[in-house]
Chain A
Amino acid sequence: MDTLNQLAHGFSVAFTPANLLWCLVGTTLGTAIGVLPGLGPALTIALLLPITYQVAPEASFILFAGIYYGAMYGGSTTSILLNTPGESATIVTALEGNRMARSGRGGAALATSAIGSFVAGTIGTLGVAFLAPIVVKFALAFGPAEYFSLMVLAFITVSAVLGSSSVRGLTSLFAGFVIGMIGVDLQTGQPRFTFGMGELLDGVDVIIVAVGLFAVGETLYMASRRYAGKDEIVPLKGSLYMTAAEWGRSWKAWLRGALIGFPIGAMPAGGAEIPTFLSYAIEKKLSKHKEEFGTVGAIEGVAGPEAANNASAAGVLVPMLTLGLPTSATAAIMLSAFQSYGINPGPLLLTTQANLVWGLIASLFIANVILVILNLPLIGLWVRLLKIPAPQLYAGILVFATVGTYGISQSPVDLVILYLLGAAGFLMRRFDFPTAPVIIGMILGPLAETQFRRAMTIANGDWTVFYRHPLSLTLLTLAFIGLVGPHIWAWVEHRRRRGPEHVPGDA
């Protein structure tokens, strides 16, 4: 009952005219950047971080959360009509959704993804409201050693378990650690990794890293592959109203998708790719219309993954709000927004910042309602956005990248760092290194270091503290299994199938 009271209080915060306006701005902007290829929620929120100096925390988090949810809705439109996933989480939506659009059922595909996103987003947000207080009770027992071990687990899952290669994922993560350590050590005041440059004493701003990797890197990458052939926009055909049969095929897929997506998102692993692929596989298996998969497009194959995607996006907020543990690039940048207000997300956040947390959760419900309206009756508007030609789109992205970076301190050094990171981002795209772990590493790395040193100081420099505490030991064991488990499994599988034959392994 306490949760319901808190939630009611949250709605009283979210329903003020100003906050409703922030929610509307965020969801509209989020849908737009979700639709536009090359722009994502992480980049957009990073560019808008300076707003934290201007408005109250409630307002900026309502704005950011609107962008975060909106990008999920907008991304599916691009996947369905353009077959170029606007977001990594909507890759699966493109599989069936684009086929449906090509066979003249684009309207139904857009409708099932928007309504499915609404259903799953609402279920996911309810999940956040009810799960967060439970996680908090559990998290209050955590000491520095447990926190450190939990972060190690999160590091392993976001970089090594997800993605195509654990070595490349961890490389990105460690690059993030190095960037995060640049500047003055908060505990001793010593400068680190500054190469004697005064400009680096304050550290590298997360805005520069996100803009460099996601905007400059992406633009260079798109410029480099103009020979790669273009995707064509499928004109929007078919009624936006789903038939009774389509409703019948969609609603179970929505619920299943939500039930798969939320728990996976809420785990300290995060990531929307796994739940969407899982949901797709399940829908394909359960469908009575298997012949439509991969041919004319099956509506279940859009409904399930879209729901899973939105529910897991909601789930990611649980570890973020209750443990201060971001598991996606967007969540990591939102964490840096908390830091900019001097607020430390963690188990105490729900009590010390009740207005903020419950106002945010309430605004997520409102955002879902606004988004389903924005994305169904107004879909024609977003389709028009898709027609912005690539030259002007990417040139425009670079103009905004300059504002975001040069505006920090009007220093050309920042622009040099931005372009170096852009070059790195380009190489990472070409050579299949994930970029999200860099952002997570640079934000979470310093927090992990703080917990590590705190734990060591309490234990008087005794390393065994990390495995003498049972909870900490469990978390570290899980991390270890996550790191080596898949390799051992692949090796055993390989031995069983082919015998001891040498085949170059994937790093």
Chain B
Amino acid sequence: MSTSDQQAPPRFAIPELLIGVGLLACAAAVAWQTLAIPVSPLYSKVGPRVFPYITMAGMVVLSLLLIVAALRGGWQPDEEKETPTDWKSMGFVVAGLVANLTLIHPLGFTAASVIMFVLVCYGFGSRRPLRDVLLGLILALAAYFGFAKALGVNIGAGFVENQLNTVINAVIAMVRG
């Protein structure tokens, strides 16, 4: 917390201030949604609004304390402050997540996952996209046929899964003769 350059008057920290203000806005949203809870007069004593109000009050107090701390110089650890953010790397990860979100319905889980896998690997510094496509495909299929099926989770089926299911069914039919 205390560093050698303590003499310089601590300036207020903008990122921390934004967090505090953002939290205050969240508290306002909580208040708005609390007022929207319909209350039947039967439950007027301790109805569904009491706890939300307590939570909102707590959030207001906490966000004010955070704003005060931000005005006094913030609290981000030095180690975090000194590490520059790798925006390019993060950008590729975010692109991968967005691609997954938009493609999972039209293309199905496996295809969307492979695209996300390759983008995230590239973001993390892998420069062999073809190998990553293969690895992503193996992993996505393992996740689909192993993990999801074992857990009884239904994650839908897209182009890749349908083709594979057709093949598997054909093989089963052949084996049964």
A: residues with CB less than 8 A from B are 48, 50-51, 53-54, 165, 167-168, 170-171, 174-175, 177-178, 181, 185, 187-188, 190-195, 216, 219-220, 222-228, 389-392, 394-396, 398-400, 402-404, 406-408, 410, 412, 415-416, 419, 422, 427, 430-432, 445, 449, 452-453, 456-457, 460-461, 503-507
Contact = CB atoms under 8 A, between A and B. Distances in A.
A391 B59 contact: no
Contact of B126 (A170, A392, A445): A392
B120 A427 contact: no
State the majority secondary structure of interface residues on B: helix
7 nearest CB pairs, A to B: A507-B69, A407-B153, A391-B124, A395-B120, A391-B126, A504-B72, A391-B121
B42 to A, nearest CB: 8
A395 B45 contact: no
Given A223-B89, A395-B121, A396-B139, 12 more contacts: A50-B153, A51-B150, A181-B55, A187-B43, A187-B48, A195-B33, A223-B93, A226-B86, A398-B96, A402-B109, A430-B76, A507-B65
Contacts of A188: 40, 43, 47-48
B90 interface: yes
Instruction: Kindly name the residue among B73, B152, B156 whose own CB sees the greatest number of chain A CB atoms within 10 A.
Output: B152
Interface of B: 1-2, 10, 15-16, 19, 23, 26, 30, 33-34, 37-40, 43, 45-48, 50-52, 55, 58-59, 62-63, 65-66, 68-69, 72-73, 75-77, 80, 83-87, 89-90, 92-94, 96-97, 100-101, 104-105, 109, 112-113, 116-118, 120-126, 132, 135-136, 139-140, 143-144, 147-148, 150-156
B143 to A, nearest CB: 5
Contacts of A505: 69, 72
Contact of A403 (B34, B124, B132, B155): B155
A43 B120 CA distance: 20
Contacts of A430: 76, 80
A174 B58 contact: yes
A133 B161 CA distance: 51
Contacts of B26: 175, 178
Contacts of B85: 224-225
16 contacts: A54-B151, A168-B75, A174-B62, A190-B37, A192-B37, A194-B33, A223-B89, A391-B122, A392-B135, A398-B100, A398-B117, A399-B143, A403-B148, A432-B80, A457-B45, A505-B69
Contacts of A175: 26
Nearest to A410: B156
Contact of B100 (A51, A396, A402, A404): A402
B104 A178 contact: no
Nearest to A461: B45
A420 to B, nearest CB: 11
B62 A403 contact: no
A192 to B, nearest CB: 5
A419 B97 CA distance: 8
Contacts of A181: 51-52, 55
A432 B123 CA distance: 24
Contacts of A507: 65-66, 68-69, 75
Nearest to B75: A507
Given A178-B30, A453-B50, A407 B121 contact: no
Given A193-B33, A391-B124, A406 B109 contact: yes
Contacts of B59: 171, 174, 178
Instruction: Kindly name the residue among A400, A403, A410 whose own CB sees the greatest number of chain B CB atoms within 10 A.
Output: A403
A404 B15 CA distance: 32
Contacts of B77: 432
A159 to B, nearest CB: 11
Instruction: Kindly name the residue among B51, B94, B117, B135 whose own CB sees the greatest number of chain A CB atoms within 10 A.
Output: B51
A170 B33 contact: no
Contacts of A390: 124-125
A94 to B, nearest CB: 15
Instruction: Kindly name the residue among A395, A419, A461, A507 whose own CB sees the greatest number of chain B CB atoms within 10 A.
Output: A395
Nearest to A51: B151
Nearest to B131: A392
A407 B148 contact: yes
Given A223-B86, A410-B154, A452 B113 contact: no
Nearest to B55: A177
A387 to B, nearest CB: 15
Contact of A174 (B55, B132, B139): B55
Nearest to B73: A504
A413 to B, nearest CB: 10
Nearest to A216: B97
A227 B84 contact: yes
B55 A398 contact: no
B5 to A, nearest CB: 13
A505 B2 CA distance: 10
Contacts of B148: 403, 407
B136 A395 contact: yes
A415 B135 CA distance: 23
Given A403-B109, A403-B144, A225 B86 contact: yes
